[in-house]
A and B are shown apart, each in its own frame.
Chain A
Amino acid sequence: MTDDELIWRIAGGSGDGIDSTSQNFAKALMRTGLDVFTHRHYPSRIRGGHTFVEVRAAGHPVKSRGDGYNFLLALGDSFARNPQDEAYYGNEEAKPLTENLDDLREGGVIVYDTGLLDEGDVDDLEERAAEEGWHVYPLDLRGLAREHGSEVMRNTAGVGATAALLGMDTGVFEELMDERMSGDVLATNVEILEMAHEEVSGMEHTHALQLPEGTHEDAADSPVLLSGSNAVAYGALDAGCRFIAGYPMTPWTDVFTIMSQNLPEMGGISEQVEDEIAAASLAIGASHAGVKAMSGSSGGGFALMSEPLGMAEMTETPIVLVEAMRAGPSTGMPTKPEQADLEHVLYTSQGDSNRVVFAPGTVREAYEQTRAAFEMAYEYHLPAIVVIDQKLSGEVAVIPDEFFDREPDPGLGAVLTEAELDEAAHHASGVFDRYRHDPESGVSPRSIPGQAGGRFLASGNEHTPQGHIAEDPDNRVAQMDRRARKLASVRAELDGRETSHQTPYGPEDAEYGILTWGSQQGTAEEAVDRLNDDGHSVKALGVSDLMPYPSAEVAAFLESVEECLVVEMNATAQFRGLTGKELGQYGEHLSSLLKYNGDPFEPAEVVEGFESIVGDADADGDASGESTRIVPAVGD
């Protein structure tokens, strides 16, 4: 909203290095002491197609994408097809400019590469610029890069131009280049960076926007810049996970790749296998044999894991699965975020669900809750699922490195040693009572194949304490009840902890509430700040525990407010539905703000949604925005 922040959007074609340039730019800003947050937008296509990344930076905390942005670096799309307006997909060559203008704030800065973009392709750019007070700097970045090195280095020229326009020197960028390049490539890039900087510094500047001032405490000393996927992977590694099996699928591939790149050096194993049914089954096999194991996928691949997931529940084999959601149904929009797999994750697989599901709201929570997922899975012998989405998986955040300076937790959980097995209950046949009826917590400790005195049968069929197939009704009820008790124990354990996975935000005594789950948390928090600044009285709760549901915490939150807006990225208000089902009341207090166009919420959309519905006695039926939809509370 304010201009004490920079939201730099680098736009171009897929395959033009937009992502890596933006990552380095974000790192550079972090090194200047700013807090940084990124938002990626890219097509499901390898070469060509409109792509952008926004890097938002400020001296104060930034937790979300912003409302629009204020600096555009429009590079060309070198793989654009169909340079005609009438083409089905429009004029792709011009898209780095045309597609980005609507979101650019008043008074914003535009740098575009005249080497690849022609002003003539953009209808009335000049007129619009005059109207909106934009400051336009056409620069031949391609020409400059070609002259001093090669065309592909035009991104570097763009960064040099950006730095000059923001009043930054090139030092921090050169430092970064020096760390990851060498020889001629380094020398040429540095030259291009400096040339562009010099040329643009010498031009007349009409804009006011400069690099924001101040230092954010997280960036003060030894900060690191990490994505949600990275945080999930690092949480898994620190939980002692040394086995992963998977099959590539966006956006889950990020977690799978990071794990696969690190496991060999740690003496672990990564298996890329034939399909997701195999992937989940391998994780189960490895865990059964005594290793901390995980798998995961995105919507469609996770659907294939449905039956193995149930097998893990029934055999009580600990596993952690990641579900990195993307827009569905079916193949949907593979590179776009959505939160529409909630019900899928909670209930998929036959029979009553018996699993733990966490949806972290931030990069830090992704680390913490992945560790917690392993803990719950191995202590309570059930599958634990970490639900992220394309938004959280790709966004990066600044975190002080000491956050990660903690003990690993490689414990196998409820497992007996051979000495303990010696003392443990066995059937007269000599088989170990792996699935006793009586444990109060529901957890009947397991043995690991190869241990003397521990043999038993794990079975997906209902079974006796030794694991043998049984359809006796008393045994059935005893086993069902015991497995259900494990979930109650998980809830009791989580409720008893010092820090909850649910994140409250804003004034405790606020009149109204905003409820989110998973990745919408940061955006809602920004909206809360703005609403309170504007005289409203609002607080938020970001929920992460989805199963077992944190009923007491959510109920207390809802009790404390008059009305609550539930914000989620899907079309059927799945989280509101879950909340209603779990709490059995509050239907008349919960309205929904939904978005499912493939683009995550901007804080302003939440502000607007709130203002148009909650506390507004005259709200008429449809207060939906341009790309959001409002579903009023029951009875409204």
Chain B
Amino acid sequence: MSQSTNVFGAIGDAQEREEGIDREEFTPGIEPQATWCPGCGDFGVLKALKGAMPEVGRTPEEVLLVTGIGCSGKLSSYFDSYGFHSIHGRALPVARAAKLANPGLEVIAAGGDGDGYGIGGNHFTHTARENHDMTYIVFNNEIFGLTKGQTSPTSPKGHESKTQPHGSAKDPVRPLSMALSAGASYVARTAAVNPQQATEILAEAIEHDGFAHVDFLTQCPTWNKDAKQYVPYTDVQQSEEYDFDVHDRREAARMMHETEDALYEGTVLTGRYFVEEGRRSYGAEKAATGEAPETPLAERYFDPDYEWERSYDLLDRHR
């Protein structure tokens, strides 16, 4: 998206570049270097995200990456762009407002399974429902990483941890089905162990005009030892065994259900699950109903010629 004024010089910058975008532009110059444990799946997300940026044609300063709290929340520290490392569970409301304020930004939110499906679950539901034009990456390691290995909303039933010494009595949440029923218009699952698919899916998700949810399987070798490395994995689009239409809500729902069950039975299914084309994003919908401006609100504050409305002109109703 190009903008009318050039107060935000970074926005639209990529189009003018001849040399293209180098994924390394998103690597911090000197510091900080990632502090995730060796073998952690979170490295895979960082790598895939950097790899997606040249594909989608965005430069660092037109991207706002908003993260939650958890090992996953550190993503914004190791990805060199505008960043907002928020609080546990609240990445989505911060991110979606930034998008409403300045639709020219590429807004990406990210966090853990606890962050997004537990404490921030209400925001997940409503942000998906509203179909904001943004991408949400959930690092799903089926565990609370940063707080040292407690059971998370995606931990399998029976999972033993320090807080459920006899095993969890709860069925795990179904992240893909939740996104679909809430109203996300793009839903996919990928895995850190599959870098090529992950990069492609993230690029698609970012380019999608609407709320794109990517459940990203990230192994946690430190706390989730009995858990999988998520290998071998199967791409449901590539495999002969699975045949469904990603544009069909019912077929998508069935496939999601099967995929969620399969994970706990040791079969790792990944791929695109639901793609709704042509649905207006929330920003567009709001502008169409007359509840949002046509031009980015953030630009107005830099426009010296804008005639600001005054309450003085509203007083007739009070006379």
Which residues in A have some Cβ–Cβ distance to B below 8 Å? 27, 222-226, 230, 234-235, 237-238, 240, 242-243, 245, 262, 264-271, 273-275, 277-279, 281-286, 288-293, 307-308, 310-311, 315, 401, 404-406, 408, 410-412, 417-418, 427-431, 448-461, 467-469
Asked if B62 lies at the interface with its beta carbon under 8 angstroms from chain A, I say: yes
Interface hub of A270, A273, A455 (most chain B Cβ within 10 A): A455
In the assembled complex, the Cα of A451 lies from the Cα of B82 at a distance in Å of: 10
| Interchain CB contact under 8 A, B319 and A222 | yes
A–B complex contacts, Cβ < 8 Å, 6 sampled: A235-B311, A240-B301, A278-B126, A281-B90, A457-B84, A459-B77
* A-B pairs with beta carbons under 8 A, tally: 228
| Interchain CB contact under 8 A, A308 and B90 | yes
Residues facing A in B278-298 (CB within 8 A) are 286, 290-293, 297-298
Q: Known pairs A235-B311, A237-B309, A458-B85. 15 more at Cβ < 8 A? A: A238-B311, A264-B291, A278-B122, A281-B86, A282-B94, A285-B95, A286-B97, A289-B101, A290-B102, A293-B97, A417-B302, A427-B29, A428-B29, A449-B98, A468-B77
| Interchain CB contact under 8 A, A457 and B83 | yes
Residues of B within 8 A of A408 (CB): 308-310
Interface hub of A281, A284, A455, A456 (most chain B Cβ within 10 A): A281
| Interchain CB contact under 8 A, B10 and A290 | no
Nearest 6 CB-CB pairs, A to B? A429-B29, A285-B97, A450-B8, A234-B311, A281-B93, A290-B298
In the assembled complex, the Cα of A450 lies from the Cα of B6 at a distance in Å of: 10
B251 to chain A, nearest CB (A): 29
Residues of A within 8 A of B97 (CB): 243, 245, 271, 281-286, 289, 293
Q: Which residue of B lies closest to A284 (CB)?
A: B94
Asked if B13 lies at the interface with its beta carbon under 8 angstroms from chain A, I say: yes
Asked if B32 lies at the interface with its beta carbon under 8 angstroms from chain A, I say: yes
Residues of A within 8 A of B9 (CB): 418, 450-452
Q: Which residue of A lies closest to B35 (CB)?
A: A469
| Interchain CB contact under 8 A, A404 and B100 | no
Q: Which of A267, A269, A410, A429 contacts B301 (CB 8 A)?
A: A410
Q: Which residue of A lies closest to B297 (CB)?
A: A291
Tally of B interface residues using CB under 8 Å: 65
| Interchain CB contact under 8 A, B314 and A234 | yes
In the assembled complex, the Cα of A469 lies from the Cα of B28 at a distance in Å of: 14
| Interchain CB contact under 8 A, B77 and A267 | no
Known: A267-B297, A270-B291. A290 touches B101 (CB 8 A): yes
Residues of A within 8 A of B76 (CB): 457, 459
Residues facing A in B35-70 (CB within 8 A) are 60-62, 64, 66, 69
In the assembled complex, the Cα of A428 lies from the Cα of B76 at a distance in Å of: 18
Known: A282-B93, A450-B11, A451-B7. A269 touches B309 (CB 8 A): no
In the assembled complex, the Cα of A468 lies from the Cα of B28 at a distance in Å of: 11
Interface hub of B10, B90, B101 (most chain A Cβ within 10 A): B101
Asked if B197 lies at the interface with its beta carbon under 8 angstroms from chain A, I say: no
A354 to chain B, nearest CB (A): 16
Residues of B within 8 A of A288 (CB): 84, 94, 98
In the assembled complex, the Cα of A291 lies from the Cα of B298 at a distance in Å of: 5
Q: Which residue of A lies closest to B95 (CB)?
A: A285
Residues of B within 8 A of A274 (CB): 122-123, 125-126
Q: Which residue of A lies closest to B61 (CB)?
A: A455
| Interchain CB contact under 8 A, B10 and A452 | yes
In the assembled complex, the Cα of A288 lies from the Cα of B292 at a distance in Å of: 18
Residues of A within 8 A of B292 (CB): 264, 269
In the assembled complex, the Cα of A430 lies from the Cα of B86 at a distance in Å of: 22
Asked if B241 lies at the interface with its beta carbon under 8 angstroms from chain A, I say: no
In the assembled complex, the Cα of A406 lies from the Cα of B105 at a distance in Å of: 34
Residues of A within 8 A of B319 (CB): 27, 222-225, 401
Asked if B104 lies at the interface with its beta carbon under 8 angstroms from chain A, I say: yes
Residues of A within 8 A of B312 (CB): 401, 404-406
Known: A264-B291, A285-B66, A401-B315. A240 touches B101 (CB 8 A): no
Asked if B265 lies at the interface with its beta carbon under 8 angstroms from chain A, I say: no
Residues of B within 8 A of A452 (CB): 8-10, 13, 61
Residues of B within 8 A of A448 (CB): 8, 298
Q: Which residue of B lies closest to A461 (CB)?
A: B85
Q: Which of A286, A308, A411 contacts B100 (CB 8 A)?
A: A286
In the assembled complex, the Cα of A287 lies from the Cα of B161 at a distance in Å of: 40
Residues of A within 8 A of B94 (CB): 281-282, 284-285, 288
